[in-house]
Amino acid sequence: EEDKVNKMVELNKFKTLSNGFKIPQLGLGTFRVQDESLVPLVKEAVKIGYRHIDTAEYYQNHKYIGQALTELSQEGFNREELFITTKVWVFRKEPQQLKDFVKEALEELQLEYIDLFLLHWPFSWEKQEDGSVKIKLIPLAESWKAMEELVDEGLVKSIGLSNFNTQITLDLLSYARIKPVINQIETNPSIAQTRFVSFFEEMGVHSTAYAPLGAPYHEIAGRNLTDNELIVEMAKKYGKTSAQILLNWGLTRGTSVIPRTTKIERLTENFESLGFTLSEEDIEKINSLDTGVRAFDPAKNPKWHHCPIFN
């Protein structure tokens, strides 16, 4: 049993970020898991070989991850081996709010530092008295300076972005004292963003893929790529599952992937997507599924004020 676990751990590949830190390419996404069922899920993931856990303020699950990490630590797991990512939500971009958020997150996660701290979206909101929200204009330079200070203080190791476009990122790179190392984006075969991913890589910004299997749970533009005919056909050819084909595609192109699951049995299946190689010809076939259509697009969502950030 222990040998099997060691072999699984060795499967995990790492990408070296522009600041020298290494990110495990396969991580566990925790979006929409907001209760104590997350505790055994995270513990089992780490025991299988996952070393990268992705969370966010919006997911409201820091405390369950913290409980899992504390129990793992008591069982002898080394915190230094883990890579924990969190993101701040759109209401807390003022410098002091960012600092307060990180201190709260550290308390809930029961950690002394966060490996990667991201701005979840490139805009800010403020709540109105009637409960509605409106856009709040906060200079990115001010938010970023506060994030750099969190690195200086040792509370955060790396800082980065999520859902940012090229223009705003190039502007940020022009003045950032500490550069963003990652942009976490929606990408899978149906929204491949191939040039975007390679351009960011040239700029020293690694891409982490959220929704790497599609987003069947999304109420507006959800799609389940695991049922796609071509993917099902590939799964049969390689003797793998559809999810393993999709994740392997994401890993092969060099992105990190953070599939979410609520099922403990899926953890091993997803992790084993590291253990085989798709042929170049089959990768090209999978690339043909690209429609450029996003599930997570504020412009389509009335709750998000139809904010057209990708247009």
Token pair in block for residue 43: 């513990």
Identify whether the C-beta of residue 109 lies closer than 8 Å to the C-beta of residue 66.
yes
Give the 3-state DSSP-derived string for 176-227, with helices as H, strands as E and coil as C: CCCCCCEEEEECCHHHCCHHHHHHHHHCCCEEEEECECECCCCCCCCCEHHH
Q: Give the tokens for residue 35.
A: 């209760």
The single residue of 50, 59, 64, 210 carrying the catalytic annotation is 59
DSSP strands (E only) in 12-57: 14-16, 22-24, 28-29, 52-54
Using alpha carbons, select from 112, 137, 111, 115 the residue that is nearest to residue 124.
Answer: 137
Contact predicate 66/35, CB 8 Å: no
Residue 251: both structure tokens together: 């890993």
Q: By three-state DSSP, how is residue 102 classified? A: helix
Sign of CA dihedral 122, 127, 133, 136: negative
What one-letter code names the amino acid at 218? Answer: H
59 in active site: yes
Query: Contacts for 192-198 with beta carbons within 8 Å, 24 or more apart?
Result: 192/287, 192/290, 194/253, 194/287, 194/290, 196/166, 197/253, 197/254, 197/255
Query: 280-287 and 229-238 helices cross at what angle (nearest 10)?
Result: 160
Query: Which residue, 190, 189, 117, 120, is CA-closest to 149?
Result: 117
Q: Which residues are catalytic?
A: 59
